[in-house]
Amino acid sequence: MLKTKHIVLWMMVLLLSCGMAQGQKIALLKYRGGGDWYSNPTSLPNLIAFCNKNLGTSIDKDPATVEVGSADIFQYPFIHMTGHGNVVFSEDEAQNLRAYLISGGFLHIDDNYGLNNFIRTQMKAVFPELDFVELPYNHPIYHQKYDFPRGLPKIHEHDGKPAQGFGLIWEGRLVCFFSYECDLGDGWEDAIVHGDSEATRTKALQMGANIIQYVFTR
Amino acid sequence: MSLLTQYSLWFLPLCLLVGAGCALLLYYKSTTLDLDQKSRIIMSCLRGLAVSLICFLLLAPMLKMMMKELDKPLIIFAVDNSESIVLSKDSAYYRTDYPQQLKQLVNSFGNKYDVKVYSVGEKNQLQENDNTDFMDFSEKSTDLSAIFNDVSTLYGNRNIGSMILLSDGIVNSGSNPYYKASSVEYPVYTVGLGSTETTTDLFFAGVNHNKQALKGNYFPVEIKVAANQLANNNITLTLTEGDEVLMSKNMTINSRKFFETVSANLQATTKGLHKYKLTLTELDGELTYVNNTAYFYVEVIDSREKIAIVYNGPHPDVAAIKSALESAENYEVTVLSIQDFRASVDDYSLIVLHQLPSAGQPAANLLAQIEKTGTSCLFIVGSQTNLSAFNNLNAGISIQQNKNLFNSAVPLYNENFTAFTFSEEARQLLPKLPPMTTIFGDYKSMVASNVFLYQKINNVNTQYPLILFNERNGVKTGVICGTGIWQWKLYNYLYTQGHREFDEIINKIATYLSVKADKSLFRVSAKNVYEEYKPVVITAELYNESYELVNDADVSIVITAEDGKKYEQQLSKQNNQYVLNMGELPVGDYSWLCSTKYGKNSYSKSGRFSVDEVLIESTNLVADHSLLQSIATATNAKFFLPREMQQIEQEIKANDNIKPIANYSKKYSLLLSSWVYFACIVLLLAVEWFLRKWNGGI
């Protein structure tokens, strides 16, 4: 009798604890300062669907939203950041982000036009000892499942400048990738939002998939 | 303080009444005694009191008391005991007067405070308050952040009054103490030791090199040379191995603050451990010549073992496991999607299969090759794994999933696990690690399988394995029954500011799986390089013919230093093994010969090791007082120079926040439990009896 009770109790414990999402979650960074961290709402879900279909990943279809200073940041292997405007990290937030990136995390910053000046100053607060360096065309991030021999593809035209991919490298490891003048996130969005051509959207998604694959398997 | 009984307090006068009644009856009613008035009064009072007291005690009275406990403010001295302090200009002061001044300050707090003295360096250690002998400035590195962690762990629930941090502010390990200090609630008074003036010195600021190199290959070495206030001197940097000069480079110091990185490419010619020496010209006026010499070691190996990580789809576990395997430099790691796997399995000593076989990727070809060649594998089972295909592989466990559900499981160490040992630090970290996603269902492990970690689900210790090993026909297989191990790496950093424990666990697993069984009966393990000031530990194992560990025989070792000095020792028997702890040995190269006789057979093994000098403390000798000042400011305290340190006592005594805290607690005590009242009763009756005798009564 006691044994049956024990087993029933056991099953209850197990049933209560299971049923959680088995996929890997990735997250969108929510920051302060006034910039629109929430722009391009369909971009991450589209990128996830593309990766799950073409790379064989099992990423949860709903991305999470995580604040810069939150301890939850350590739950996500990949964090995406976008926007057009001002970004402010407090000292605690900068420390939290720094610990996350050094510990093994990854931040992809996508310049949705106008983020450049703000984010460079703020990342300097996170890594005073590092500068953004332009990644050469032979960097593995451009040569994963999809080959980009000329580096970052140009997705959305703003100032006629070339698309550039910058990185912060901590002890030999790329901890932050900054896609500048490229607007990958626009290309990931539903076709109806920006009217990008199918070919452009595919290029953007392929480059996004390359970033995910690089971060997950390097 | 108040009195309680479970009866009404109106019983109290009744007790007195009963006492008075007894006394009256005895001394005023009965007339057998011939007494004068005075004795009668005294004796009746005695009897009355005794009876009243007995009646009163019958009520089982209790005393309620408010106990006041004073928690004296803790004053914690954190005394930097690192080498850099005496490598400064004022070394004489720090060796003689400074310890006395510190002792005076420690004693000045008297018994109104609870004073604890910790020495700080590589590790923190509690010292006796009256003894300054520990201040020998021998610590080889400085971590000022750890003391804040230790204080909050040890004294978190105490009244921490203040910390007094005496240091030169030169930190070369751990995290930035400023961030630790700014989150504590007590003031941190700082005393700035050392000299902030740039010292006249030429020194090695660091050497970057690989720990291993492949025979025949060239390997790069990066040498950082720095000099202060020595402009316009010509210097020579020499790199030698034994007597052979491998590189010599002349440089001119062209500025007051000189820094240059010199690169060298060395060839790995012969197999074994190579010791390289770097020297810089000794210039007049330098503070110390200690840091004009540096050594580094490179082990040249024939080939590096290869490990392939093959995945179904990109997953952060893959990157985390790869980084851990690469950290030890023992393995050449290849990461491949199963679609791209073309190589021959023979090339690899271990194959890690992440969520393979899966529904889309049966990996039949690869699995057949593995089966045929008997290659070791490590399976990582997750939501993408095709469980029925996996179960057919006889990997040591079969898993039946229930309704496509998953669990969240944290690791639980199996105390009976013996396949390999790992460090105490890693073991302490295990219970703190975040959960992995495991399959909810039935687990059936094979009898022979060896469980390393179990799953702990919702705080319940289960018998479901999380990581287990299995050996079948001499082929070793491991299974990690869950995904999400990548998060262990991140949390490892959160707890220890490094990845050492995660790297260790992954590498131990890989080594255990990839090493072909050692068939020799006598095995000795010693490191190639021991760090100076760390004990030299050598272990040995002896097997009987049926490969059972034994330690009946004695095992002896002879360690010979470069200068011919011999150390002869017996290894001590611990559990089934043999262990030798030589303690610290001087820097240099040693060879060893370990031998034993078991039954009719004699066995011996030999090898070499080096004790490596630790240079980290002498590379930066300029004290960082601004760090100490900002710590003091951030905690509302003050910064002092060593000669002003006695003022801290006044500061702390004047600080209204540093006061004892009174804790009140209620305490009940049964009066019956005290012997005092019985003594009173006996005394009262004894006196009365004596008086009666005196007066001729009975």
Give the nearest partner residue to B490 out of A20, A51, A105, using CB atoms.
A105
Per-residue pLDDT tens over the stretch B431-463:
999 999 999 999 998 888 889 999 999 999 999
Judge if B352 and B267 occupy the same domain.
no
The answer to whether A212 contacts B483, with C-beta atoms less than 8 Å apart, is no
- Which residues in chain A are contacts of B360 at CB distance < 8 A? 56
For the ranges A171-185, B306-320, B390-404, B670-684, the lowest mean pLDDT is seen at B670-684
Looking at the domain assignment, is residue B27 inside a domain? Answer: yes
Q: What is the mean pLDDT of residues A23-42?
A: 88
Contacts of A104 in chain B (CB under 8 A): 320, 323, 486, 489-490, 493, 499
pLDDT at A16 over 50: no
Q: Which residues of A touch B384 (CB under 8 A)?
A: 56, 58
Q: How far is the alpha carbon of A101 from chain B, nearest alpha carbon, in Å?
A: 9
* Pair B538, B425 in one domain: no
Q: Sort out which chain B residues have CB atoms less than 8 A from A170's CB and list them.
A: none
A179: left (phi over 0), alpha (psi -120 to 50) or beta: beta
- Using the predicted structure, report yes or no on whether residue A4 has a pLDDT greater than 60: no
Same-domain check for residues B375 and B444: yes
Would an 8 Å CB–CB cutoff place A4 in contact with chain B? no
Q: Does residue B651 carry a pLDDT above 60?
A: yes
Sheet holding B661-670, edge to edge: B2-4, B62-71, B661-670
Query: Which residues of chain B does A16 touch, with a Cβ-Cβ cutoff of 8 Å?
Result: 458
Q: Check which CATH number belongs to the domain holding B358 and give it.
A: 3.40.50.880
Provide the residue range defining the domain that includes B541.
524-612
Contacts of B457 in chain A (CB under 8 A): 13-14, 17
Beta strands B566-570 and B572-574, pairing class: unpaired
**Best of A70, A216, A218 to mutate (most B CBs within 10 Å, chain B):** A216
**CA–CA distance, B37 with B600 (Å, rounded to integer):** 105
Between A55, A74, A213, which is nearest B490 by CB?
A: A74
Cβ distance B598 to B578 under 8 Å?
A: no
Most A CBs within 10 Å: which of B210, B440, B459, as the mutation test of the A interface?
Answer: B440
Q: How far is A51 from chain B (nearest CA, A)?
A: 9
Of B314, B431, B308, B380, the residue nearest A77 (C-alpha): B314
* CA gyration radius, chain B: 37
Residue numbers in A near B484 (CB within 8 A): 24
pLDDT in tens, B499-552: 999 999 999 999 889 876 666 788 888 888 888 777 888 989 888 877 778 888
Residue B438 with chain A: CB contacts under 8 Å? none
The SS3 of residue B682 is helix
- Strand pairing category for B555-561 and B244-252: unpaired
Q: A138 φ, ψ to 5°? A: -90, 10
Residues B312 and B396 in one domain: yes
The helix/strand/coil state of B267 is: strand
Q: Which residue of A has its CA nearest to B492?
A: A103
Q: Is residue B617 part of a domain?
A: no
pLDDT at residue B38, rounded to an integer: 83
Contact B314 A24 (CB under 8 A): no
The pLDDT-based confidence of B199 (bands split at 50, 70, 90) is confident
Domain match, B390 and B491 both:
yes
Residue B26 has pLDDT above 90, yes or no: no
CATH number at residue B273: 2.60.40.10
C-beta atoms surrounding B541 within 10 Å: 18
Which tens digits make up the pLDDT trace of B114-137? 999 999 988 888 988 888 888 888
Q: Are residues B138 and B174 in the same domain?
A: yes
Among candidate residues B514, B515, B434, the one with its CA nearest the CA of residue B482: B434
pLDDT of the residue at B435: 94
Res. A146: pLDDT tops 90: yes
Q: Is residue B317 part of a domain?
A: yes
Write out pLDDT tens, residues B176-186.
788 788 888 89
- Give the closest residue to A188 by CA, choosing from A43, A37, A38: A43
User: Which residues on neighbouring strands pair with residue B451, listed in sequence order?
Assistant: B468
Asked whether the beta carbons of residue B489 and residue A95 sit closer than 8 angstroms, the reply is no
B52 and B105 fall within a common domain: no
Nearest to B457 among A17, A55, A102 (CB): A17
- ipTM value of the model? 0.90
Domains of chain A, start order: 21-217 (3.40.50.12140)
Chain A residues inside the 8 Å CB shell of B494? 74, 99, 103
* Contacting residues of B for A99, CB less than 8 Å apart: 493-494
Burial B202-231 (b: 16+ CB within 10 A, else e): bbbbbbebeebbbeeeebebebbbbbbbbe
Q: Are B135 and B79 in contact (CB under 8 A)?
A: yes
- Cβ contact, residue pair A99, B494, below 8 Å: yes
pLDDT at A12 over 80: no
Q: What is the pLDDT of residue A13?
A: 45
A24 with B483: Cβ contact below 8 A: yes
Q: Do A78 and B384 touch (CB under 8 A)?
A: no
Q: Which of B271, B301, B331 is the last residue of a domain?
A: B301
Distance from CA of A12 to the nearest CA of B (A): 11
The whole-number pLDDT of residue A79 equals 96
Q: What is the mean pLDDT of chain B?
A: 87
Q: Are residues B205 and B221 in the same domain?
A: yes
Residues from chain A contacting residue B483 (CB–CB below 8 Å): 24
Asked if A215 lies within 8 A of B337 by C-beta distance, the reply is no
Determine which of A48, A54, A217, A218 to mutate to test the interface with B (most B C-beta atoms within 10 Å).
Answer: A217
For B322, phi then psi, to 5°, come to -60, -45
- For A90, other C-beta atoms within 10 Å of its C-beta total 12
Domains of chain B: total: 5
Query: Is residue A100 a contact partner of residue B486, using CB atoms and an 8 Å limit?
Result: no
Q: Give the residue from A75, A20, A10, A59 showing the smallest Cα distance to B407.
A: A20
Average pLDDT, chain A: 87
Asked if A31 and A81 touch (Cβ cutoff 8 Å), the reply is yes
Shortest distance between the Cα of A145 and any Cα of chain B, in A, equals 10
Q: Which residues contact A22 (CB under 8 A, 6 or more apart)?
A: A58, B382, B383, B406, B437
pLDDT of B66 > 90? The answer is no
Give the closest-approach CA distance of A162 to chain B in angstroms: 30
The answer to whether residue B647 sits within a structural domain is: yes
B372–chain A nearest CA distance, Å: 28
CA distance B182 to chain A (A): 11
Give the pLDDT confidence score for residue A21 in this predicted structure: 47
Given a contact cutoff of 8 angstroms between Cβ atoms, the answer to whether B569 and B556 are in contact is: yes
Nearest CA among B156, B158, B174, B149 for reference residue B78:
B149
pLDDT at residue B222, as a whole number: 87
- The two tokens of residue B416 are 């009976």
How does pLDDT run across B579-636, given as a tens digit for each residue?
Answer: 898 888 888 889 999 999 988 888 998 888 888 877 677 777 778 888 899 899 989 9
Chain B residues close to A213, C-beta within 8 Å: 314
Q: Name the residue among B361, B434, B489 with its Cβ closest to that of A104.
A: B489
> Per-residue DSSP letters for A71-114?
GGGGG-S-EEE--SS--B--HHHHHHHHHHHHHT--EEEE--SS
Mutate which: A22, A174, A213, vs B, most B CBs within 10 A: A22
List all residues 6 or more positions away from B625 whose beta carbon is below 8 Å from its beta carbon: B169, B192, B196, B639
**Same-domain pairing of B424 and B497:** yes
**Do residues B684 and B53 touch, judged by C-beta distance below 8 A?**
yes
d(CA A4, CA A2): 5
User: Do B83 and B131 fall within a single domain?
Assistant: yes
Q: Which residues of A52-85 are buried (b: 16+ CB within 10 A; e: fewer)?
A: beebbbbbeeebbebbbbbeebbbbbbbbbbbee
Residue at B336 is within a domain: yes
Q: Give the model's pLDDT for residue B552.
A: 85
Burial B405-433 (b: 16+ CB within 10 A, else e): bbbbbbbbbbeebebeebeeebeebbeeb
Instruction: Please report which helix (H) or strand (E) contains residue B305, including its range.
Output: strand B305-311
Rounded to a whole number of angstroms, the distance from the CA of A9 to the nearest CA of chain B is: 11
> What pLDDT sits at residue B161?
92
Q: Output the pLDDT for position B30.
A: 67
- B28 occurs within a structural domain: yes
Hey, how many other C-beta atoms are within 10 angstroms of the C-beta on B127? 18
In a domain, B519, yes or no: no
Residue A17's pLDDT band (cuts 50, 70, 90): very low
For residue A38, pLDDT over 80 is answered with yes
Confidence of residue B249 (pLDDT cuts 50, 70, 90): very high
In a domain, B539, yes or no: yes
Say what percent of chain A tops pLDDT 70: 89
Sequence-ordered list of residues with C-beta below 8 angstroms from that of A11, at least 6 positions apart, any chain: none
Assess contact for B228 and B199: CB atoms under 8 A: yes
Q: Greatest CA span in chain A, whole angstroms?
A: 78
DSSP character for B229? S
Taking only the tens place, the pLDDT of each residue in B325-367 is: 998 777 889 999 998 888 788 889 999 999 999 988 998 889 9
Q: What is the mean pLDDT of residues A120-131?
A: 91
Chains A–B, number of C-beta pairs less than 8 Å apart? 108
Cβ–Cβ gap B490/A216 under 8 Å: no
Q: How far is A74 from chain B (nearest CA, A)?
A: 7
Asked if B363 and B352 touch (Cβ cutoff 8 Å), the reply is no
Is the same domain home to B132 and B231? no
Tell me if B120 sits within 8 A of B171, measured CB to CB: no
- In DSSP terms, B240 is beta-bridged to B245, B277
Within 8 A of A216 by CB-CB distance, chain B residues are 314-316, 318-319
How far apart are alpha carbons B563 and B644 in whole angstroms? 48
Q: Which of B290, B289, B173, B277 is nearest to B221 (CA)?
A: B277
Q: Does B318 contact A22 at a Cβ distance shorter than 8 Å?
A: no
In chain B, which residues touch A (CB < 8 A)? 179, 309, 311-316, 318-320, 322-323, 335, 337, 355, 358, 360-361, 382-384, 405-408, 434, 437, 440, 457-458, 460, 483-484, 486-487, 489-494, 499
Residue B394 pLDDT greater than 60, yes or no: yes
Residue B230 in contact with residue B318, Cβ under 8 Å? Answer: no
* Residue B679 neighbours by CB under 8 Å, 6+ apart: none
Indicate the residue among B574, B593, B612 that finishes a domain. Answer: B612
B186 and B212 share one domain: no
